[in-house]
Structure 1
Amino acid sequence: MFIEPNFKGERRGWIEVICGSMFSGKTEELIRRLKRVEIANLKAEIFKPGIDVRYDDVKIVSHDENKIQSTPVDNSQTILLLAQDVDVVGIDEAQFFDDQITVVCEKLALKGIRVIVAGLDMDYQGKPFGQMPNLLAIADYITKLHAICMKCGNIANVSYRKVAGGGQVLLGEKDIYEPRCRECAALGDTI
């Protein structure tokens, strides 16, 4: 879907995507960038999917327990309605949003808004997760972060699920997932 740009001498927006496995620091990086936005006295709105209540119902919280206020939303179109008169929009856990999140990010960027999105690029099976591949395709800037493999200490890019069952989406933390490199994830629990 093509969105007509608005070039009336207004500032230009862009899309930044922060991706990687669980425990790689995606949310930490999102919070870091958004705090710099606050320091610059820019107006920001921050959103997260309503289903993500692992640490807090409202705040975005990193594994290191850094926090920033956000608005939980049930669908991506709500972001367009709530992101009025802002300089920056932050979106966490983008893989959980519906298929309109890419269109929403494009519309925001065309309005001159800096859009910073964080999310898992792959699910626990190493498959592209949700709308993240589409967001990566339209991003102006991409930051891919890595964790450390819990089995061998190498760079990890897989969110290995330690428990059986559940669908593609199974909310959890270290009790259910751990970061692993490609080789250790392929070996499963035989190592």
Structure 2
Amino acid sequence: MHKITRSGWVEVVTGSMFSGKTEELLRRLRRAEIAGQDVAAFTPAIDDRFGETTIGSHEGRQWDAQVIENEGAGVWDLEDHLNGEQVVAIDEANFFTEELVDVCEKLAGDGRRVIVSGTDITFRGEPFTPLPELMATAEYVDKLRAICTVCGEPATRNQRLVDGRPAHVDDPTIVVGAEESYEARCRNCHTLRTG
């Protein structure tokens, strides 16, 4: 991607868990850094799986990041942490409120390249706000797929497990976890407990 005008833009990298979203975000940040562009990276306060001030991938790659409160108007604090950086990265967008959409629009309107990653679907198989809105307003969207842990087909769903069993449909939407709590599943292998 290259800048052909003076305007900024929004890129969204989305897909199920274990599809390589954060890995792709980190790849884009490394390329921006190689190109001599100043980068600012942000992560939600709720996600400390790889350290409180780190964006980390399941492959072990990391990038230093500033922590932003994920609830309420905390995402607007992101602008206060910028020092002229033209590339702004936001990981785990699914943990932020709908206000993230407006923040990304403002940053892009200020001429910045905004790269956002996050899962677009809840463990129930429903749209995970604010990703659908970000995908609709972004200039670029890449939807990645993992491999279903049951059948080996392309996986687009997040299977939450509780004590090795599928989560109940009424369980909370946000539960931070990794391999101990989630698997990638295809549509046919994804299940929920209802009883």
Fold match by TM threshold 0.5: yes
Unmatched 5+ residue regions in structure 2? Answer: none
Once the two structures are TM-superposed, the CA of residue 89 in structure 1 deviates from its matched residue by: 0.1
Q: Does 1:175 align with 2:180?
A: yes
Residue range with higher mean Cα deviation, 50-59 or 19-28: 50-59
CA RMSD of aligned residues (A): 1.4
What SS class does the counterpart of residue 162 from structure 1 fall into? strand
**1:99 and 1:130 mapped to 2: Cα distance?**
7
Q: What one-letter code is carried by the residue in structure 2 that aligns with 1:78?
A: D
Q: What one-letter code is carried by the residue in structure 2 that aligns with 1:15?
A: V
Partner residue, 1:120 = 119
What SS class does the counterpart of residue 32 from structure 2 fall into? helix
Partner residue, 1:154 = 153
**1:120 and 1:83 mapped to 2: Cα distance?**
25
Once the two structures are TM-superposed, the CA of residue 23 in structure 1 deviates from its matched residue by: 0.3
- How many pairs align? 179
| Identical pairs, percent | 44
Q: What one-letter code is carried by the residue in structure 1 that aligns with 2:77?
A: T
**2:125 and 2:82 mapped to 1: Cα distance?**
33
After superposition, give the CA deviation of every residue in 1:27-80 in whole Å (9 maximum; x if it has no partner): 000000001111011011000101100121111000001001110110210112
Partner residue, 1:33 = 28
Kindly report which structure 2 residues correspond to 1:78-157, keeping only aligned pairs within 5 A, or say none: 78-157=77-156
After superposition, give the CA deviation of every residue in 1:102-121 in whole Å (9 maximum; x if it has no partner): 00000000110000000010
**1:124 and 1:143 mapped to 2: Cα distance?**
20
Partner residue, 2:75 = 76
**1:129 and 1:58 mapped to 2: Cα distance?**
24
With the length of structure 1 as denominator, give the TM-score of the two structures. Answer: 0.90
Q: What one-letter code is carried by the residue in structure 1 that aligns with 2:153?
A: N
**1:43 and 1:55 mapped to 2: Cα distance?**
23
